[in-house]
Structure 1
């Protein structure tokens, strides 16, 4: 009991530190607004005033999934957006979601690696600059990270309890996550394939099926809307620009590799892939493996930008690189004894990193998996400290 009390006190201190950094950031700087945020604002006002769900258009479309727009619409309604500027309220909502994500990281880490790792991971998440800066951005990152961590926490409970109810709830949460960031939708399949290998349970398909049903129930209103309004099936979103932009090695958009005349954006992207892997094989192989991975993870996401520069900690760039490298080493070390829940988080990182290779690499794409990298980094830190204590302190 005393140990749990001390852990609770320590986590409370970390939580207060995280809250102070995030709220202090919001009130200390001028927040810039990205073009994506501006278009989301136009979209939500159009939805509320004219009932038209459309991104960068006056005609109904499905260019973006409805997760963030519906969250924004709810806040706009609550604060009366015609009287009050809604962006500050959205930023405060981001802080609440960010702090909830911190709590979920603690719970996940404690479940898979123990209390000391949970405290270390929470501290890393509390001070990581990107987790402070993104609270000023009206983008999908903060709600997506929260929903992903909530899904993973419930999924770990489902693995442990083996109850179909928990599996269905996890699937529903993955559906909510996918409505914010659609690239997460396939995640339950590889994670349950791992579960089958881990437990040697030949009945693993049953909770997988229930999880898929839960996901489909949550996604179904979006699918029905698209069929009824657009007269076609759209599972997630129709925007293809990130996929097409990802076909330019080194993000050199003026390479003139393929003549685009008469092609749609999707046709152009596929033709570039065909020509690139045939005529420039090594360049495209490097770009679609280490090139994109390096670009995605080499720097941290800075949100929408702000002035003056707010530094939660000194040497934030070095902190990010250290987090990425230490988490990679930790994941590799964990594979020695892979039949355990911690490895499920490795599966998530690997699968999401692989999916990112399909699209244009951006620093913002590392944001949603950084809480998991913090957990793995904390595992390594605690193991090193424990080794040092046993070898040099306790032995003395």
Structure 2
């Protein structure tokens, strides 16, 4: 029995894709290229140590939580600026590093590497569940394996790798429970989805889409029961965070107390205005310099813009921000002096290929139910992201799903060419 399983594993393309991915991860882990990591005189020591300014703030927050018991992002006082997924994840890793007497950054990178390999496996599994086609599954996994940004981000202490892992895992579990309406799968889905939202709240409204599919598949009465089962996850994972916020601040923040900041930063069509001037204009308009004030002012700007300057504001919140999400492979610009030009061009063109074929897949195969489902997930995420500040790092979050769409589009394209050639 064991020998049969080993034989099947040896025949699976996923095994060899994972070997390639492991070797690529080890290269980046040991060689550690990238100007942002190796030029502290340019970027500053905290940024070069942890990979970005946000990552250094998360790391300081995790140490502060461990040693002082204070949950505060970029502050020595308690706050609710960020959701607890990443701080607790890092605090757990840092505590383990102290117990084992190993470098906390190395442990974090190795853990992120394991999660990245897990993402590749999940992409393969999702593709198999959706299409039952080994070529699509293999290509989808390989597209992510050769996608550059993953090799930069696993060495930073940012939210991207763990949040993408849990997001893709929640999609996989959801597809499984569509096939097997089992209680434990519903409970597990609720828990994993809640963990995902504690790392990255943006996909939250996708849960309504998931529940809508339960209504369509099982009827309203059964879907209500399923909804209550899913709620076990939020009760275990999210409610303690809400209670903490209410007890400390008197407000039951579900996610973050500073949602207004990215909303205001995103209310700047094609970045025509200086952000400092926007803050001063906000104060002059009578709005307080708080997260709530920024959120209210952003809503005022958006409403006024869509009313009086509709073309520019509408194009900004649709095509404009989407371009900013996917206009480049995140962080590739830090490696131009480390790799030969043809390697940089490969990663650049590969990113362009994945995005264009992935987003085109919906238009070409929208009548395919599996493609429609995955495309809606991608499009809803893009729409939700476009409400706030956008950057290529946030676009990376949905790249694994786009890789699956790209693989389907590519295999179908060459399959149709082959069929025409043999006629």
Q: TM-score, normalised by structure 1?
A: 0.90
Structural mapping, 1:315-334, within 5 Å: 315-334=346-365
Separation of aligned partners in 1, 2:135 and 2:335: 34
> Judging changes above 3 Å, is the alpha-carbon distance between structure 1 residues 200 and 72 closer, same or farther for their aligned structure 2 residues?
closer
The SS at the match of 1:315 is helix
- For structure 2, the 5+ residue unaligned runs are 38-47, 288-292
Is 1:23 aligned with 2:42? Answer: no
Which 10-residue stretch deviates more, 85-94 or 5-14? 5-14
Q: Match of 1:118?
A: 137
Match of 1:245 in 2: 265
| Contact kept in structure 2, 1:243 and 1:358, CA below 8 Å | yes
Is 1:93 aligned to 2:111, yes or no? yes
- 1:176 corresponds to: 195
Q: Deviations over 1:209-246 (max 9, x none)?
A: 42234333321111121122222100011123211100
Checking the alignment, whether the CA contact within 8 Å between 2:366 and 2:372 is kept in structure 1 is yes
Taking a change above 3 Å as real, the CA distance of residues 392 and 57 of structure 1, as seen in their structure-2 partners, is same
What is the CA-CA distance between 1:380 and the residue it aligns to? 1.4
> What is the alpha-carbon root mean square deviation over aligned residues?
2.6
User: Is 2:9–2:15's contact at 8 Å kept on the other side of the alignment?
Assistant: no
Q: Give secondary structure in 2 for the equivalent of 1:184.
A: coil
Counterparts of 1:249-260 in structure 2, within 5 Å, are 249-254=269-274, 258-260=281-283
Deviates more, 1:231-240 or 1:342-351: 342-351
Distance 1:188 1:267, change over 3 A: closer
The whole-number CA distance in structure 2 between the counterparts of 1:110 and 1:224 is 40
Q: Could you say which residue in structure 2 is the equivalent of 1:161?
A: 180
Aligned-residue offset at 1:81: 8.7
Q: Are 1:191 and 1:347, in contact at CA under 8 Å, matched by a contact in 2?
A: no
Tell me the distance in 1 between the aligned counterparts of 2:118 and 2:263: 32
CA distance in structure 2 between the partners assigned to 1:313 and 1:113 by the alignment = 32
User: Does residue 1:381 correspond to 2:400, yes or no?
Assistant: no
Deviation at 1:173, TM superposition (A): 0.6
Q: Give 1:216's aligned residue.
A: 235
- In structure 2, what is the equivalent of residue 348 of structure 1? 377
**Alignment partner of 1:77 out of 95, 98, 114:** 95
Instruction: Decide which of 220, 225, 245 is 1:226's aligned counterpart.
Output: 245
CA distance in 2, matches of 1:361, 1:288: 10
Instruction: State how far apart, in whole Å, the 2-side matches of 1:64 and 1:81 are.
Output: 27
Q: Which residue of 1 aligns with 2:368?
A: 337
Distance 2:379 2:366 in 1: 13
1:39 lines up with 2:42 in the alignment: no
Give 1:82 shift: 11
Indicate yes or no: 2:212 matched with 1:193.
yes
TM-score, normalised to structure 2's length?
A: 0.85
Shift of 1:389: 3.0
Asked if residue 269 in structure 1 is aligned to residue 287 in structure 2, the reply is: no
Question: Which residue does the alignment assign to 1:14?
Answer: 17
Q: Is the 8 A contact 1:66 1:180 kept in 2?
A: yes
Structure 1 segments (4+ residues) deviating >6 Å: none
Q: 1:292–1:361: 8 Å Cα contact kept in structure 2?
A: yes
